[in-house]
């Protein structure tokens, strides 16, 4: 029952993603969440550090697609200046948007990872759809209303997983 809640990796941030390791494992694509994964949920633009990272990731041959539950205006305002493909109103944890992103990149599931800051949307959705999943620490302290509710449930789930010895990291 708990397997869908456990990411394959847990990292402090997107910047800690080991691209060499991904390349060796034949990962060619990254599906990433936007809000509190790449930037704070209420920040419309990428930071200079994030822009450098995204440029570097693309230079290393990886494809990137943002899959977000947020609306088109929010996601396009962020994505279009970066040149990164996006899917908005994704309805995560449903798997349709993850599969669409994979298809749009022309890659197999085994060649793509899903990365995000929420267990209940990004990790559960990615795991249920059959992708390698990476959970990152949220970049900001604030959240939207629905995310605040998700975080309360998420804390309970993560505490239960720790009690059962299924995860070892510290939050």
Confidence label for 18 from pLDDT (cuts 50, 70 and 90):
very high
Higher pLDDT, 140 or 118: 118
Average pLDDT over residues 3-19: 94
The answer to the question of residue 169 being in a domain is no
Domain count, the chain: 1
DSSP assignment letter at 35:
B
The answer to the question of residue 130 being in a domain is yes
> Does residue 19 surpass a pLDDT of 70?
yes
> Does residue 148 surpass a pLDDT of 80?
no
| CATH number of the domain within which 60 lies | 3.40.50.1000
Q: Which domain holds residue 49?
A: 3-164
**Residue 30 pLDDT:** 98
> Does residue 171 surpass a pLDDT of 70?
no
Q: Which residues pair with 136 in a beta bridge?
A: 11
The answer to the question of residue 60 being in a domain is yes
Report how far residue 128's alpha carbon sits from residue 122's, in angstroms, rounded to the nearest whole number: 10
What value does the mean pLDDT of the chain take? Answer: 90
> Does residue 58 surpass a pLDDT of 60?
yes
Q: Which residues pair with 11 in a beta bridge?
A: 136
Residue with tokens 């939207």: 144
Instruction: Give the tens place of pLDDT for each residue, 81-104.
Output: 888 999 999 999 999 999 999 999
The dihedral built from the CA positions of residue 33, 2, 146 and 10, taken in this order, carries a sign that is: negative
The answer to the question of residue 170 being in a domain is no
The answer to the question of residue 82 being in a domain is yes
Q: Which residues pair with 32 in a beta bridge?
A: 66, 115
Three-class DSSP category at 65: strand
């Amino acid at each position: 029952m708990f397997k869908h809640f456990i990411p394959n990796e847990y990292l402090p941030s997107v910047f800690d993603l080991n691209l060499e390791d991904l390349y060796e494992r034949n990962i060619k694509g990254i599906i990433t969440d936007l809000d509190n994964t790449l930037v704070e949920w209420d920040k419309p633009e990428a930071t200079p550090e994030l822009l450098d990272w995204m440029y570097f990731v693309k230079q290393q041959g990886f494809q990137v697609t943002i899959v977000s539950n947020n609306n088109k205006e929010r996601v396009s305002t962020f994505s279009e200046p970066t040149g990164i493909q996006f899917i908005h109103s994704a309805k995560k944890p449903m798997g349709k948007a993850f599969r669409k992103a994979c298809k749009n990149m022309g890659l197999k599931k085994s060649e793509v990872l899903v990365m995000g800051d929420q267990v209940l949307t990004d990790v559960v959705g990615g795991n249920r759809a059959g992708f390698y999943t990476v959970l990152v620490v949220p970049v900001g302290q604030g959240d939207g209303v629905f995310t605040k509710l998700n975080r309360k449930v998420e804390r309970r789930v993560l505490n239960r997983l720790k009690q059962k010895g299924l995860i070892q990291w510290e939050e």
